[in-house]
Amino acid sequence: MFDVRFIERVLPALLDGLWITLAIAFLAFAIAVPWGLCAAILHRRGGLAAALTGGYVQLVRNTPVLIQLYLVYYGLPMAGIMLSAFACGVLVLAFQTGGYAAEIFRGSLASISVRQFEAASALGMAPFARWRHVILPQLFLRSLPALTNQAATIIKDTAQVGVIAVMDMNKVGQIWLEKSGNPFDVFIALAAVYLVVTTVVGLAGRLIERRLSFVQ
């Protein structure tokens, strides 16, 4: 059924593409988390800020990544902005994941009792110190399982950046598929590598969760 020798030939090429996949996922996630946190905090303030962040979340949740990639990659040059395909991929995935991260943080924030804010104020803590020492540690811990899930999702979403000419692992796989006309072994190899990487991310998330559990 499986052509093991063929998979052995494909794997080194896929692993070359894996570095691009991981680089995009890492950078996009590194941008998306603080971006989502800012959006969640702004949303909590209510008024215009809440309306804007709500609109942003609706926009990213209700439009496909693929369309966003096309719009940024082909649309920006028409406005005179020429970003590399790699940068377009990072931006779109960060924008997309930021929206989901904002929702994750918003939910976690809602689960923290408002009395904790009041108690920190009563102790004379400045707003920044309140967030830094009281709210954020709990917020991250409560958000961690969902953020880990989002990290795995972003790795899988990178499979779409090939449409804008980024040579990620999936794109390398597509080229091998074209070359060989042997789709199944290529797909099996691709799926196996994605599975290993996302499993490692999931385990790392759980490990961090366990280490930080003392906060609660």
Partner 1 sequence: MRSYIPGTDVAGSRWRNPAANDTAAPLSRGEFLSLAAALLVTGCSGSDSKSAATALPADASRLDIVIARDKLIVGTYSTSPPLAFINPDGELAGFEIDLARAIAKDLLGDSEKVEFVVLNAAGRFPAVLTGKIDFGLCSTSITGDRAARVAFTPPYLDTGGTVIARRDAGLTHVRQLNDPRFTYALLNNPGSIERAEQELPRAKTIVLDNPAAILLATKVGRATAFNIDRAIAHQYVADNPDLMLLDTSGTVYNHVSGNAIFLKPGDFKWWLFLSTWMNELRGGSRYAQYRTLYLRWFDKEPPPQRFYDVSRY
- Burial tier of 5 (Cβ tally within 10 Å: 0-12, 13-18, 19+): exposed
Q: How far is the CB of 171 from partner 1 (least distance, A)?
A: 7
Per-residue mark of binding to partner 1, 35-64 (x: CB under 8 A): ------------------------------
By CB under 8 A, residue 81 contacts partner 1: no
- Of the two residues 27 and 188, which places its CB atom closer to partner 1 in the complex? 188
Positions in 151-180 near partner 1 (CB under 8 A): 162-165, 167, 171, 174-175, 177-180
- Taking a C-beta distance cutoff of 8 angstroms, is the pair 126, 90 a contact? no
By CB under 8 A, residue 87 contacts partner 1: no
| Choices 23-31, 96-104, 181-189, 194-202; region in contact with partner 1 by CB under 8 A | 181-189
- Measured distance CA(77)–CA(207) in Å, rounded: 43
Q: How far is the CB of 130 from partner 1 (least distance, A)?
A: 47
- Measured distance CA(54)–CA(39) in Å, rounded: 9
- Taking a C-beta distance cutoff of 8 angstroms, is the pair 21, 168 a contact? yes
Q: Pick from 5, 12, 62, 82: which binds partner 1 (CB under 8 A)?
A: 82
Secondary structure tally for the chain: helices H, strands E = 10, 0
| Choices 36-44, 71-79, 109-117, 151-159; region in contact with partner 1 by CB under 8 A | 71-79
What is the torsional sign of CA 129, 134, 137, 143?
Answer: negative
Closest CA to 36 of 115, 170, 140: 140
DSSP state, 201? H
List contacts with partner 1 (CB under 8 A). Answer: 1, 73-74, 77-78, 82, 85, 162-165, 167, 171, 174-175, 177-184, 187-188
